[in-house]
Amino acid sequence: MKQRTPGRVFIPIIMISIIAIIMMVTPIGFDMSTGFFGFFTNTWNHFVETYSSGMAIGIVVIALIMLLIINAINKVVESQKFKGLSPEQQQQYVVMSKQNYFSRLINSGRYRQTDEEEEAIILDHGFDGIKELDNALPQWWLAMFYMGIVFMVVYVLAYSFTDFAHPEIEYEEYNSKQQALVDKWIEENDITIEGAKNKYLDPQAIEEGKKTFESLCATCHTANGGGGIGPNLTDDFWVNKVQDSLFYNIYDIVYNGSPKNPQMRPFGKKGELTGLAIEKVASYVYYMNQDLPTVSANEGGAAPQGEMIPAWAKDGGSTAPAPSATGNTTENAEPVKKDSAQ
């Protein structure tokens, strides 16, 4: 008669498996930490989260009671079988069961059948003199096999019919969390007109400003700034003068819109562009106006509108110093603080 696996061995193993399986099918509702230690903190948080539900605890308690009952039944079966053994076999069984379970387990791993035992389980087909033994599969192997089947069923059901492990849902959750962080960052780090700097000498800012211009502004001002519905931004004529310096004038118009024409809408006020984005696109418009050649009416640009403002003119030097002549990346003129520019 085979020795019984003691309850103190199989009950904890099955309980740990049940606890782990319940955790596996419970969606994670916290922000996961990364890295090596993240694994442990995540597991712990997941455990706490899963077992703060009465249902999960209920399942675990019921499983424990069932296992204790199974263990008790096994004991009864064992003693019944024991009674049916011959006195020698009983003797042998008692000696064996005195041994520690784990040393018995290790010894059984080294155990090899005797020739007679082998004779009894040999299959009578063979090939080239190679015969096959009908060995029973190891218990641990069978246990893993059955656990695999249970896991597969639970996993497929959970995957198909619950929110567990859904790439799209996980992606959206993660994405909206990240987006919230980005929005928060922008809110905390965004600038107003007072904090804006003319970055027309910073190639990266110009590149980003250009992208914004092409996607949002080119419809009315054309990609080269020559103008269409909106005025030519490359010439020295301006319809609006709401600030003393050119860069801040552009920033102000893009933030607050044109006071004269609602077609030039308030991109900043409406929340279409952040202060940081306006800083870049205004730098780009400034760069287009100062460093790129004027797109004349002959070249498809719009005819000059508004007044010629000598202080902002390209050549600058002839009538008034251009801001770039100072050698600074920012213009010296301070923006006029206006409440609407906040």
Closer by beta carbon to ligand HEC, 56 or else 254: 254
Q: Under the criterion CB under 6 A, does residue 193 sit at the interface with ligand HEC?
A: no
Q: Under the criterion CB under 6 A, does residue 301 sit at the interface with ligand HEC?
A: no
Q: Annotate the chain with three-state secondary structure.
A: CCCCCCHHHHHHHHHHHHHHHHHHCCCCCCCCCCHHHHHHHHHHHHHHHHCCCHHHHHHHHHHHHHHHHHHHHHHHHHHHHHHCCCHHHHHHHHHHHHCCHHHHHHHHHHCCCCHHHHHHHEEEEEECCEEEECCCCCHHHHHHHHHHHHHHHHHHHHHHHCCCCCHHHHHHHHHHHHHHHHHHHHHHHCCCHHHCCCCCCCHHHHHHHHHHHHHHHHHHHCCCCCCCCCCCCCCCEECCCCCCCHHHHHHHHHHHCCCCCCCCCCCCCCCCCCHHHHHHHHHHHHHHHHHCCCCCHHHCCCCCCCEECHHHCCCCCCCCCCHHHHCCCCCCCCCCCCHHHC
Q: Under the criterion CB under 6 A, does residue 288 sit at the interface with ligand HEC?
A: no
Shortest Å distance, C-beta 60 to ligand HEC: 60
How many residues touch ligand HEC (CB under 6 A)? 25
Applying CB under 6 A, the span of 14-22, 41-49, 102-110, 237-245 interacting with ligand HEC comes to 237-245
- Among 26, 50, 198, 240, which residue sits at the site for ligand HEC (rule: CB under 6 A)? 240
Applying CB under 6 A, the span of 10-18, 72-80, 156-164, 215-223 interacting with ligand HEC comes to 215-223
- Among 224, 226, 231, 287, which residue sits at the site for ligand HEC (rule: CB under 6 A)? 231
Shortest Å distance, C-beta 248 to ligand HEC: 11
Shortest Å distance, C-beta 285 to ligand HEC: 5
- Among 46, 199, 210, 221, which residue sits at the site for ligand HEC (rule: CB under 6 A)? 221
Shortest Å distance, C-beta 179 to ligand HEC: 22
Applying CB under 6 A, the span of 75-83, 184-192, 196-204, 217-225 interacting with ligand HEC comes to 217-225
- Among 164, 200, 255, 267, which residue sits at the site for ligand HEC (rule: CB under 6 A)? 267
Closer by beta carbon to ligand HEC, 56 or else 285: 285
Q: How many residues does the chain have?
A: 342
- Residue 324: closest CA among 293, 291, 294, 292: 291
Shortest Å distance, C-beta 233 to ligand HEC: 6
Q: Under the criterion CB under 6 A, does residue 198 sit at the interface with ligand HEC?
A: no
Q: Are 227 and 304 in contact (CB under 8 A)?
A: no
- Among 220, 309, 311, 320, which residue sits at the site for ligand HEC (rule: CB under 6 A)? 220
Q: Under the criterion CB under 6 A, does residue 260 sit at the interface with ligand HEC?
A: yes
Task: Provide the β-strand partners of residue 130.
Answer: 127
Binding residues for ligand HEC, rule: CB under 6 A, are: 213, 216-217, 219-221, 229-231, 233, 238-240, 250, 253-254, 258, 260-261, 263-264, 267, 281, 285, 306
